[in-house]
Amino acid sequence: MKILMIAPQPFFQPRGTPFSVLGRLKALSDLGHSVDLVTYHVGEDKWFPNIRIHRIKNLPIKKVKVGPSLAKIPMDVALFFKAFSLMRRNKYGVLHTHEEAGFMGIVLKKIFRIPHIYDMHSSLPQQLHNFSFTNSNVIYKTFEWLERKTLENAEGVITICPELYDYVESLGVKTYHTLIENVVDYASLFESTNGEFKTLVPWGKLKDRVKILYSGTFEPYQGLDLLVESATHVVKRHPEVVYLMVGGKPEQIEFYKNQVKKSGLSDYFYFTGMVSPVTAEKLVEYSDILLSPRTQGNNTPLKIYSYLRSGKPIVATNLITHTQVMDDSVAILTHATPEDFARGTNQVLENEELSHLITQNARKLADEKYTYQVYLRKLNDLYEHVSRN
């Protein structure tokens, strides 16, 4: 099948939705489909068999921040006309849209009479609220209406986590709807970067210390303030620990370095900055404990699926972002407070038997439920359904 996919994202950059788009492209390629991807001018090319990337013309915008932004408006307009041009020149079997490109799908489907699959990574009205983008009730209601119209007009809908799946089901939309979690082993899709790993931190000094890893963006919803404050309670009982903080923009890293310094924790924290997916995976292998201190949001972090496979104990907050995938049998789940997060971390440090049990259970869960084979089957079933109808 020949597919036109529209991704209003900087593709590829190592963050949530671009990773998800990457996984879809890999899977569709493996299933034998041909995909033309229409995306922003910003990002790194990633190639798979039968995948072609079409970018909008260069605009004077070099960075696209996470979440809603005014900068995306001119890029999305350019994206629509790029997709329109391609659809005029080529015959496609399916239109596959991500995020707000679903709104474009309403129009393009009607013009070109083509089935539409909407890849829903989040509720866009909820995103406006979560990122404090606007206080306008008119804009919020408009996005609610557009979201519902997108869902109603699509022949197939993908959601990426149980909470989002339940949200769509609660709307009573009559369309084929499937839950496909982001379980792809993304690190395997990139070339090795041994040199990057070796120079990140002075590994010799950390040889005998217990490595505690945070990996991800440094956005406010990730709970890094909670993590830093919790560390003050952990190091008092376990001065042998060291926190590896992976990710973040330069200004965000500087902010948290200052926070760590004010707390007297400079000897216990190392900041690596952004790293390649391969290096991020190596850091998971090298670490002893994995943290996910999120304080907001509903979507499951992509890293959780690789964490479950890792054989390392996980400490996470007991919010829906985590509990829709994990329970107390596979991770230490804590209240979203510094004191309780510290308690959970100390529990792992002090109870080897418990740590071994939850890591065994986590691997079993990953092997049974969160495999690439399950991912492929679900995506294939969706495309077969849409092509038959």
Write the DSSP assignment of 118-138 as a string of letters: EEESS-HHHHHHHTT----HH
**What was the pLDDT predicted at 16?**
83
Q: In whole angstroms, what is the distance from residue 93 CA to residue 51 CA?
A: 15
Tell me what percent of the residues of the chain surpass a pLDDT of 70: 98
Same fold, 2-183+371-388 and 191-369: yes
Q: In whole angstroms, what is the distance from residue 65 CA to residue 105 CA?
A: 23
pLDDT at 148 over 80: yes
pLDDT at 169 over 90: yes
pLDDT at 336 over 80: yes
Give me the mean pLDDT over the 226-230 stretch.
97
Tell me what percent of the residues of the chain surpass a pLDDT of 90: 77
**What was the pLDDT predicted at 64?**
83
pTM, full prediction: 0.87
Architecture of domain 191-369: 3-Layer(aba) Sandwich (3.40)
**What was the pLDDT predicted at 130?**
66
| Of 69-83, 129-143, 278-292, 353-367, minimum mean pLDDT range | 129-143
Q: pLDDT-derived band of residue 133, with 50, 70 and 90 as boundaries?
A: confident
pLDDT at 229 over 70: yes
Q: In whole angstroms, what is the distance from residue 23 CA to residue 41 CA?
A: 20
Give me the mean pLDDT over the 259-264 stretch.
96
| Of 3-7, 56-60, 127-131, 288-292, minimum mean pLDDT range | 127-131
> Which of these, 117, 50, 112, 45, lies nearest to 85 by C-alpha position?
112
**What was the pLDDT predicted at 337?**
97
- Which two tokens mark 66? 């996470």
**What was the pLDDT predicted at 320?**
95
pLDDT at 123 over 90: no
**What was the pLDDT predicted at 54?**
97
Domain locations along the chain: 2-183+371-388, 191-369
- Which two tokens mark 49? 């068999």
Contact criterion met (CB below 8 Å) for 160 and 182: yes
Q: pLDDT-derived band of residue 358, with 50, 70 and 90 as boundaries?
A: very high
Domain 2-183+371-388 in CATH 3.40.50.2000: yes
pLDDT at 193 over 70: no
**What was the pLDDT predicted at 201?**
85
Mean pLDDT over the full length of the chain? 93
Contact criterion met (CB below 8 Å) for 134 and 126: no
Q: Which amino acid is at 90?
A: N
pLDDT at 143 over 80: yes
Q: In whole angstroms, what is the distance from residue 229 CA to residue 217 CA?
A: 18
Q: pLDDT-derived band of residue 177, with 50, 70 and 90 as boundaries?
A: very high
> Which of these, 285, 295, 308, 132, lies nearest to 229 by C-alpha position?
295
140 or 181, higher pLDDT: 181
Give me the mean pLDDT over the 304-323 stretch.
96
Residue pointed to by tokens 């952990």? 234
pLDDT at 45 over 80: yes
**What was the pLDDT predicted at 237?**
97
pLDDT at 388 over 80: yes
